[in-house]
Structure 1
Amino acid sequence: MDPRGTLIGGRYKIEGDPIGSGGMANVYKATDIVTGNPVAIKMIKDENMRDKMNLERFNREAQTTASLQNPNIVRVLNVGNYEGRPFIVNEYIPGKTLRQVLDQRGRLPIPEALDAMAQLCRAMLYAHRNLVIHRDIKPENIFLMPDGTIKLGDFGIATFMNSAHITKTQNVVGSIHYLAPEISAGGQATPQSDIYSMGITFFELITGKVPFEGDTPMKVAMGHANTKFPNIRKFNSECPESVAKIIYRCCAKNPLDRYQSVYDLREDILRVKNNPQMVQKAPSIWERIKRAFQNSRIKRRRRS
């Protein structure tokens, strides 16, 4: 199906080629002929129309996102069906994804990364309070608006915390570089698995890289499960200890050792963000030795 120029739902005129595409659906820019405003229409691809599981996933995204109204979550304006094909109408996002920002600029300055994460926390705190687990937090699904606002999108594999129909097989879904080890092992998605993904995203914003690489998904998953989390300062010597501690706690192997709520994570991020001294870079090993030497000299003088 080529929807270019088509009037969807009697209201949304698709303007041209897709502005985005994923495994599940294409996204088109369209005009709402009632308001004159631009919108983004997500339409499931032809090959996924014949797959019952993909149809269920697409409809679940429509159901989930339509129930979430938050300034830091991409807003759903309408859902519908056009000639048997489901579609979702989202607000049009004129900005870029954080993946595009990282590809173009490299790692973010520490204050920008803290601000992005504080806003992401606001989105996820709202989602979790509404019993929604995202399950696919990564830079590709986070948008940066021209005014600096962060918006989280793509709830295509999200699930409700009280959902009983999600099987272990279905749970192993998401982007392997951001998946918590218990999810890769087939475990149940929880708020703590979202927090792990947020920590990996934070690490990438700070360093421009992901912590575990591999030439197969299995090797990446094994890194998350078994390899000690890398020293962030080896990737970015400017990273303050206060920021590194937040990331390390988010990315603990054991979910019980992570933040137990996004609220607590957000409180720590805001504490650092609002305290300039805590955003100062961590001292190098030589700076620490020099400081220790100076302190010992001061102590000796006091004794004499």
Structure 2
Amino acid sequence: MMIGKKFGNRYEIIEKLGSGGMSIVYKGLDTLLNRWVTIKVLREQFASDEDFVRRFHREAQSVASLSHINIVSIYDVGFELDLHYLVMEYVEGRNLKEYIREQGKLTPEEAVPIAIQILHALEHAHEHHVVHRDIKPHNILLTMDGRVKVTDFGIARVANEATMTYSGTMVGSVQYISPEQAKGLSVGPKSDLYSAGVVLYEMLTGHLPFEGESPIAVALQHIQEEPPSPSALVEDIPMELSHVILKAMEKNPDLRYASADAMAFDLEKIYTGKSHEINMIKEKQNLSEDTVEIPAVRSGNGSPEGKKIPEEEKTPPPKKKKLKPQATWGIIGAAVLIFLLLGWGAYALLTGFFNVGEARMPDMRGKSLIEAKAELKEAGLEHTLTYSFHDTIKKDHVISQTIEPNQMVKKTNVVGLVISNGPKTTRVPNVVGKTQREAVVELNNRNLQGDFSEAFDDRVPAGTVISQQPEAGVDVPEKTMVTVVVSKGKELKYLPMPDLLNKYLDEAEKILKDLGLSIGKAEERESNEYFPSQIMSQEIKAGDMVLEGDKVNVQVSSGPGPMAQMARVTYDIPPDGETHRLRIIVSDLKGERTEYDRVHQPGDFIDQQVPFFGKGKIDVYVDDELGISENVP
């Protein structure tokens, strides 16, 4: 059982997230930096292979050098408890495959920004000579705020080499591999671009370009067949977007995009409404791969080396024609005319350029995007758009512009607008029932602030969160203050100690329990004054203030207790012609009890012996009115 184990004296295993062919994945807590992490623990079959472990560590250290907002960071790699592990950034969210299954297919407006972020991650990796080799929706995570995080960079190479060692087969998702991967050839950055094209294809159509009954059948399609055009499958997909996908999926790597940035640049043109700027002409290879006949090299006499050609088959060389003077002057005149025309065209072009009309740059800051576009259109100015989160500027409103307002600018100038995505949001986690320390970590991981207070609660253990506001699952701007109430446990009160003397032990325990107190140590001692089990003394005096939950030590009699004594009680019933009820109540070491209770005739005389124990009091009541009260003995 891995839960609770700690690697490197800092990475504590919290829960299992899943497993793959190479490793088991856990959610962990970095106790040093107080943040969640993902911990991948290698399976035993790989951990025992020294060559594999060496490659694994080397590749992990190489990938750890990558630092990009769209790449899951690798924090640490190590060996402990006979296990090799990898510590990575923890991403709260789901993978792209799950999202595609949930949505069926994505709109171009949603899919293109995701693809652009994937390509930005690939460009950064390729610049650092790291090729992913296993780009697929399963390795693309979507955070709660919509950001893309590509994971498992570089690990595919190690996994592939290891699987070749154990089984002689290649690992990977065959639906997304490039033709060169399917052929078993070496791969480079353009292989990642092919896989990125397949991922974008699946996002937009909801289907894979190639499917078959076996991995081999799918691999052969990647090598031999052209994928159906996405635009033919889904009407809403622009032709320019289909062109980008199909160019990325060219069989020949040389015909694909030169880099991830180049592909992202075309997608950004589509996203910003500049599809017309994309070159839709399909490039062709310089040389054909088909078999062709090449003429033999001929010798000086026009025949192939070592062979003669019959005279009748020889073709006389063409005669050279001399230009007549009139033709020469005609050519010169035509050249002069062309030169004059070109000069006039250049003059007109330059004049048009330098005489471009001017317009006053409008102030679009704080305005809606619709308003800004209308003002720019009216002024005859072009624009580009970039998007950014902002804490105060509303969504789809202008944050800033690259050209200051009120300046006179040529209409050829292009102003860049930064548009607000609104405050960057995050989902409030559920911290109710967690410890205060766990709540702090959860809120920090979501970039939220916590306002902690304490309150007494009889039902929730001390140190545990009772309530939170806002509630869990609500999307709020980052840095929002979450009010968290932590239990102080049951509220303790001060109360006066009750008088336990003469009470029997079980009676005393009940009295204390009702007050939130209890008997501590009960020491037994012989006594002729107290009956067995009666309280002889108490450590805390009656009336002293004690804290709720305290224990009180007592001394308890083990007997034999006092002997009974007799008291004589006499009383004359009034001769008033009416009957009267007479009661004798004794209060002594045994407690309070009624020793006599009868109705008498008028004028009766009562003479009664009443037993008592130790010191006490005898009260005589006539018709519920106290007649006599005396202490005994």
Q: Which residue of the other structure, out of 202, 223, 226, is the alignment partner of 2:224?
A: 226
Give the alignment of 1:147-226 within 5 angstroms: 147-155=145-153, 156-158=155-157, 172-226=170-224
Question: In the comparison of the two structures, how many residue pairs are matched?
Answer: 269
Give the alignment of 1:84-103 within 5 angstroms: 84-103=82-101
Deviation at 1:83, TM superposition (A): 2.2
Between the aligned partners of 1:273 and 1:47, the Cα distance in structure 2 is 47
Between the aligned partners of 2:72 and 2:81, the Cα distance in structure 1 is 25
* Cα contact 2:229–2:246 (8 A) shared by 1: no
Q: Residue 209 of structure 1: SS of its match in structure 2?
A: coil
Relative to its length, the structure with more helix (as a share) is 1
Identity of aligned residues (%): 35
Unaligned runs of 5+ in 2: 277-633
Deviation at 1:148, TM superposition (A): 1.1
Deviation at 1:52, TM superposition (A): 4.6
Unaligned runs of 5+ in 1: 160-165, 279-304
Which residue does the alignment assign to 2:144? 146
The question of 1:11 aligning with 2:31 is answered no
* Cα contact 1:132–1:158 (8 A) shared by 2: no
Deviations 1:77-103 (A, max 9, x none): 222111232211111100111011112
Amino acid at match of 1:227: E
Q: Evaluate the alpha carbon distance shift between residue 228 and residue 149 of structure 1 in structure 2; reply closer, same or farther with a 3 A threshold.
A: same
* Cα contact 1:61–1:154 (8 A) shared by 2: no
Deviations 1:99-141 (A, max 9, x none): 1111222211211110001101110000000011110000000
Q: Residue 64 of structure 1: SS of its match in structure 2?
A: helix
Amino acid at match of 1:23: G
Amino acid at match of 2:201: F
Deviation at 1:34, TM superposition (A): 1.8
Tell me which moved more, 169-178 or 43-52: 169-178
Which residue does the alignment assign to 2:631? none
* Cα contact 1:61–1:157 (8 A) shared by 2: no
- State the 4+ residue runs in structure 1 displaced beyond 6 angstroms: none
Which residue does the alignment assign to 2:39? 41
* Cα contact 1:64–1:158 (8 A) shared by 2: no
Between the aligned partners of 2:207 and 2:48, the Cα distance in structure 1 is 37
Deviation at 1:276, TM superposition (A): 7.3
Amino acid at match of 2:31: I
Between the aligned partners of 2:110 and 2:55, the Cα distance in structure 1 is 33
Amino acid at match of 1:59: H
Tell me which moved more, 267-276 or 139-148: 267-276
* Cα contact 2:47–2:84 (8 A) shared by 1: no
Between the aligned partners of 2:24 and 2:79, the Cα distance in structure 1 is 15
Between the aligned partners of 1:154 and 1:144, the Cα distance in structure 2 is 14
* Cα contact 1:250–1:258 (8 A) shared by 2: yes
Q: Which residue of the other structure, out of 125, 128, 131, is the alignment partner of 1:127?
A: 125
* Cα contact 1:113–1:202 (8 A) shared by 2: yes
* Cα contact 1:122–1:266 (8 A) shared by 2: yes
Deviations 1:173-223 (A, max 9, x none): 422111111111111111111110110011011111110011111100111
Tell me which moved more, 172-181 or 97-106: 172-181
Q: Residue 239 of structure 1: SS of its match in structure 2?
A: coil
Tell me which moved more, 44-53 or 261-270: 44-53
* Cα contact 1:59–1:86 (8 A) shared by 2: no
Amino acid at match of 1:178: Y
Amino acid at match of 1:132: V
Amino acid at match of 1:256: D
Which residue does the alignment assign to 1:109? 107
TM-score by length of 1: 0.83
The question of 1:237 aligning with 2:235 is answered yes
> Larger RCO: Structure 1 or Structure 2 (Cα < 8 Å, ≥ 6 residues apart)?
1
Relative to its length, the structure with more strand (as a share) is 2
Deviation at 1:61, TM superposition (A): 4.1
Deviations 1:40-81 (A, max 9, x none): 111111233234565345324422321111111001122211
TM-score by length of 2: 0.41
* Cα contact 1:203–1:210 (8 A) shared by 2: yes
Q: Residue 28 of structure 2: SS of its match in structure 1?
A: strand
